[in-house]
Structure 1
Amino acid sequence: MSSSTMNDDEDEYNGELREMKDKNPWHSPVTILITVIGVIAIVALVTVAVLYNKPLLQKYKYGIVLDAGSSHTAMYLYRWPAEKDNNTGHVEQIHSCKVKGPGISSYSSSPWGAGQSLTVCMQEAVQLVPGSRHQETPLYLGATAGMRLLNMENASASEEVFEAVTGALQTFPFSYQGARILSGQEEGAFGWVTVNYLDDRLNQGLKTTGALDLGGASTQISFVPEDYDGTESPNNSVTFRLYGNDYILYTHSFLCYGKDQVLRLALSQQTQAGQSALSDPCFHPGYSDTKKYSSLYETPCTSSRKPETVLPAEFTHTGAGNFAKCQEKLKHVFDFSKCGYSKCSFNGVFQPPLNGPFGAFSAYYFVMNFLNLTDTSVPLDTVKKALTRYCATPWDQVIAEHPTIKVKYLAEYCFSGTYILTLLTNGYNFTEDSYRDIKFIKQIRGSDAGWTLGYMLNLTNMIPAEAPDAPPLPYSGYVSVVTLMSLLIFAVLVISMRPFWPRCSKQPHII
């Protein structure tokens, strides 16, 4: 074949290729423009969806609650997401501060001191809450059994203490909401709310946890019994509707049965004869202290028990260190002789059968943690043996082993541990099996167990009666769906242009 013929064939082949290229719609400027615009639109759609729904930098609101207990006051600082305020934002504790000195009820003779004692902790709150949030941050003070007793004994002194506290708290840049005495029922119920809120049992409708609270002047038990409608002893019943679930809560507060007041009850019972010396099985062997008789009867819990005979000014309080005898002495502070209901705890107070797990906090935790007895999987007999050994430990040895603990607190751990075990088993009717359902707790997910969080949640309406509406998709799911739909639209667009796709043709052969 001649070279000219080959050149003609090559020119013809190149011409056909140019013709095919010219007829290919993908090489059309309009098609290219439409494709580019489509891709840009899809990218823009996904970008806008991501940016519009991207979580913003978190902003918070704050709340402050002062727990004015009988033995001390503590400040708790809480925060929650500002954009989820009212019904959905989860509240967390970010700081706590123990006020130096005794509880505010101890300042009855010098009320101004009660207000001054709060200054240091409140200054910490000023530093921790952003300045832009100061004026909108609610500040509450709730007083418990110590102020209940003072109010019973001297109402005017109680008012003066509250006036001093109010004057001090109003000097800080927060939204002060007032100070008040909580009823025992409120203290128990709000403690139950706190425990179950922190454990996410309320918003998920899970089986709830009971609450056991022990302070210096009172103790509370709260739980949801089975088959309980609240009609038997209605004063011990509280009804909640939280997150769309109804709860009929049994709760009772025993004033004068906190560990400090029970110690006075026990000592007053053992010194009715007005003796000058008392050998106490609830204190370590070798322990000795001089106590004033007047201190035993200066509270409403024991004033009615004061003997009519003239008492000496003081008595010598020594330890004998015998757990079994201590427990027998402590059983006498309870009255098990009467019950006008289907079932009682003590002192004729109605209590339905125990139900579910329990969280025991406040003094329950601190005492049992010191004694290394927070593990309730250990049989009760083992717990009793441990207390028997500890109470029998010589006082000098106890001091030597715990040099950093104040002598007052250290001296009372044998008594307090024995009282806790007696209260739980003899008072509240916990058995060998149900005792295992108790968990001694200080905090849940970083927040202290106690009534303060439940109190603030109630006053700020942070827990809705009905379950809040949840978004149909989480953020990540939303972005995934938008991306998938965008790709699907692009695929449909490509397929719809199939008629314009280039058709395959046989390439000419070069000979």
Structure 2
Amino acid sequence: MLNSTPRLSMYQLRGRVGGFLILVFAVALIIVVAGYDDFRHRFVSKSIFKDKKNPYVFNGEATLNVRNENLRGSNGFAQSITSSPGLPSKNDKDVYAIVFDAGSTGSRVHVFKFRILPDGLLRLDKELFKTTKPGLSAYASDPRMGAESLRPMVIEALAFVPKAKQRSTPITLKATAGLRLLSEGVADNILNEVTQMFREYPFPLGDISIMDGIDEGIFSWITLNYILGTLTSGNKTVAALDLGGGSTQITFVPQHRETVKAVPKNFTSKITLFNRSYKLYTHSYLGQGLMSARFSLLSDNRNPADVLNTTILTSPCLPNNFSGKFRFGSHKYQVGSLTNGSSFSACLKDAVNFVDKNMVDIKELSNADIYIFSYFFDRAKDAGIIGRTGGQMTVKDFKRAARHYFSNPLLDHPYLGMDLTYIYALLHDGYHIRSNKGMEVIKRVKQTEISWALGSAFHLLSSMGLAR
């Protein structure tokens, strides 16, 4: 019997195959785009403090005295965690949280142990703190090695947290300015590898993302004032100035309306802490961190992408007869001193021009109680202004130390003069803090590292329902 089905010509067959392939490609493209949007949603955090109608609420008591029954919250990632086995029972006495701080120059882990007291209070009992260098941004070309650089610290956390508590101890990583400065795809690849590595361990997975600069500043302010006990004592809160490698943050409670009126709305945030509401002045200056400032001063404020690795970067801030290398992000640059020599006045002029272009002055800061930390502390200590535990100093102490360095340069600390000069310009000409203003320079208070990590741990525990 003859087949009555008409045979397709070669042209008809090609047309149908081509149409099918186009349909497959279109469907695949939709899936990829949808998946990519979901992927970006996971890894790029929007500030939790930007919703003015529903400000972040954290209720409890102050330092070493947080009422755990009031630590409640909700985030999207909490639902899959709170229903898992291993959550603390009412009879448990200890709660742990693991917070990774992926900074521009290095990564740090904070493992916090909180004790639930008989009267229902949650007390910070102990902290494990470890660091490693370089930061994740240095692994732009090898994301898997970036994740592996954190593994020894995860193992340290595994040893610190009792086995019975590991399945109820959340782990989170927040990347700061270093990864913000990378292209989106590169940063995503690194965070994806970190996520996969964390999943090899029993800890419930919290948020793995690039941290919004606003959150970084506010969490640091919460940590500092929590430890100082100002949040429920009725005492005046203090201003927190943080200097990282890629960015610098400032957060305080303004006392004058003129301060708030003089800046855009995104410089302020409303939060509720311990049943009190605060309107904060808070801003993160991306690109104004110490390492970013170094690169800008060395490259005449050029974009890193426009500077060849073979280019020799120079600055009057470098000591005479110096040549070496400077790593910024995933790049390493040749640097050398100018032929006409170094100069404090020329260095200061460059630093002032740099901060003038990017910063908003805050006149009322000179009347606030100011605490400075991170690289502020490190460079003050390196210059001998303060001891290893910190202390009080004035803005002009940085200027004096910078002048002294240029008169007595140290080739084994070639960037110290530049750093001190920049810090002075940042405080005096950027924030407009008067020269004789006294400030507290700190690294730790009550054995706790001053950073955003403790504030982030509070939010992590409450949002996951792990503190009741």
Deviation at 1:59, TM superposition (A): 3.1
| 1:319-353 Cα distance to aligned partner (Å, 9 max, x none) | 834322211111121235xxxxxxxxx54x47462
Deviation at 1:270, TM superposition (A): 7.9
- Residues of 2 paired with 1:329 and 1:246: CA distance? 41
- Contact residue 289 and residue 318 of structure 1 kept, 8 A: no
- Contact residue 323 and residue 391 of structure 1 kept, 8 A: yes
Is residue 122 from structure 1 mapped to residue 154 from structure 2 by the alignment?
yes
- Residues of 1 paired with 2:131 and 2:328: CA distance? 27
Alignment-derived partner of residue 380 in structure 2: 368
- Residues of 1 paired with 2:208 and 2:290: CA distance? 25
Alignment-derived partner of residue 315 in structure 2: 280
- Residues of 1 paired with 2:203 and 2:127: CA distance? 17
Is residue 156 from structure 1 mapped to residue 159 from structure 2 by the alignment?
no
Determine which of 212, 216, 219 is the counterpart of 1:183. 212
Is residue 353 from structure 1 mapped to residue 385 from structure 2 by the alignment?
no
| 1:344-385 Cα distance to aligned partner (Å, 9 max, x none) | xx54x4746225211111111111111122487656555433
**Alpha-carbon RMSD:** 3.3
- Residues of 2 paired with 1:277 and 1:127: CA distance? 46
Tell me: CA distance 1:160–1:226, structure 2 relative to 1, closer, same or farther (3 Å): same
Tell me: CA distance 1:359–1:377, structure 2 relative to 1, closer, same or farther (3 Å): closer
Alignment-derived partner of residue 424 in structure 1: 427
Alignment-derived partner of residue 44 in structure 2: none
Deviation at 1:452, TM superposition (A): 0.8
Alignment-derived partner of residue 256 in structure 1: 287
Number of aligned positions between the proteins: 363
Deviation at 1:317, TM superposition (A): 3.8
- Indicate the SS of the match to 1:190: helix
Determine which of 168, 178, 198 is the counterpart of 2:197. 168
- Indicate the SS of the match to 1:461: helix
- Contact residue 201 and residue 207 of structure 1 kept, 8 A: yes
Alignment-derived partner of residue 267 in structure 1: 298
Q: State the identity %.
A: 28
Unaligned 5+ segments in structure 1 are 1-56, 300-312, 337-345, 400-409, 469-511
- Contact residue 221 and residue 452 of structure 2 kept, 8 A: yes
Is residue 331 from structure 1 mapped to residue 352 from structure 2 by the alignment?
yes
Alignment-derived partner of residue 88 in structure 1: 121
Letter in 2 for 1:282: C
- Contact residue 117 and residue 123 of structure 2 kept, 8 A: no
- Residues of 2 paired with 1:222 and 1:270: CA distance? 26
- Indicate the SS of the match to 2:462: coil
Deviation at 1:184, TM superposition (A): 0.8
- Contact residue 289 and residue 317 of structure 1 kept, 8 A: no
Determine which of 397, 401, 407 is the counterpart of 1:386. 401
Tell me: CA distance 1:377–1:363, structure 2 relative to 1, closer, same or farther (3 Å): closer
- Contact residue 317 and residue 344 of structure 2 kept, 8 A: yes
Letter in 1 for 2:107: T
Alignment-derived partner of residue 168 in structure 2: 136
Letter in 2 for 1:353: E
Letter in 2 for 1:193: I
- Indicate the SS of the match to 1:238: strand
Alignment-derived partner of residue 31 in structure 1: none
Tell me: CA distance 1:203–1:108, structure 2 relative to 1, closer, same or farther (3 Å): same
Tell me: CA distance 1:283–1:422, structure 2 relative to 1, closer, same or farther (3 Å): same
- Indicate the SS of the match to 2:141: coil
| 1:211-260 Cα distance to aligned partner (Å, 9 max, x none) | 11111110001110104495652211111221122211100100001111
Tell me: CA distance 1:378–1:254, structure 2 relative to 1, closer, same or farther (3 Å): closer
Letter in 2 for 1:123: I
Letter in 2 for 1:90: R
Letter in 1 for 2:100: L
- Contact residue 214 and residue 284 of structure 2 kept, 8 A: yes
| 1:48-71 Cα distance to aligned partner (Å, 9 max, x none) | xxxxxxxxx993211110000111
Alignment-derived partner of residue 307 in structure 1: none
Alignment-derived partner of residue 289 in structure 1: 324
- Indicate the SS of the match to 1:429: coil
Letter in 2 for 1:414: G
Greater share of strand residues, 1 or 2? Answer: 2
- Contact residue 326 and residue 418 of structure 1 kept, 8 A: yes
TM-score, length-scaled by structure 2? 0.70
| 1:294-325 Cα distance to aligned partner (Å, 9 max, x none) | x88989xxxxxxxxxxxxx9674458343222
Tell me: CA distance 1:251–1:382, structure 2 relative to 1, closer, same or farther (3 Å): closer
Alignment-derived partner of residue 72 in structure 1: 106
Alignment-derived partner of residue 48 in structure 2: none
| 1:423-476 Cα distance to aligned partner (Å, 9 max, x none) | 00000011034x21x2111011111001111111123239x9xxx9xxxxxxxx
- Contact residue 251 and residue 283 of structure 2 kept, 8 A: yes
- Contact residue 145 and residue 217 of structure 1 kept, 8 A: yes
- Residues of 2 paired with 1:379 and 1:316: CA distance? 31
Alignment-derived partner of residue 146 in structure 1: 178
- Residues of 1 paired with 2:102 and 2:401: CA distance? 33
Determine which of 246, 249, 258 is the counterpart of 1:217. 246
- Indicate the SS of the match to 1:431: coil
Tell me: CA distance 1:249–1:270, structure 2 relative to 1, closer, same or farther (3 Å): closer
- Residues of 1 paired with 2:157 and 2:416: CA distance? 33
- Indicate the SS of the match to 1:226: coil
- Contact residue 58 and residue 81 of structure 1 kept, 8 A: no
Deviation at 1:186, TM superposition (A): 0.6
Tell me: CA distance 1:60–1:379, structure 2 relative to 1, closer, same or farther (3 Å): closer
Query: In terms of mean alpha carbon deviation, does 202-211 or 67-76 score higher?
Result: 202-211
Alignment-derived partner of residue 459 in structure 1: 460
TM-score, length-scaled by structure 1? 0.65
- Contact residue 385 and residue 397 of structure 2 kept, 8 A: no
Unaligned 5+ segments in structure 2 are 1-90
Letter in 2 for 1:392: S
- Contact residue 290 and residue 317 of structure 1 kept, 8 A: no
- Residues of 2 paired with 1:381 and 1:352: CA distance? 17
- Contact residue 241 and residue 370 of structure 2 kept, 8 A: yes
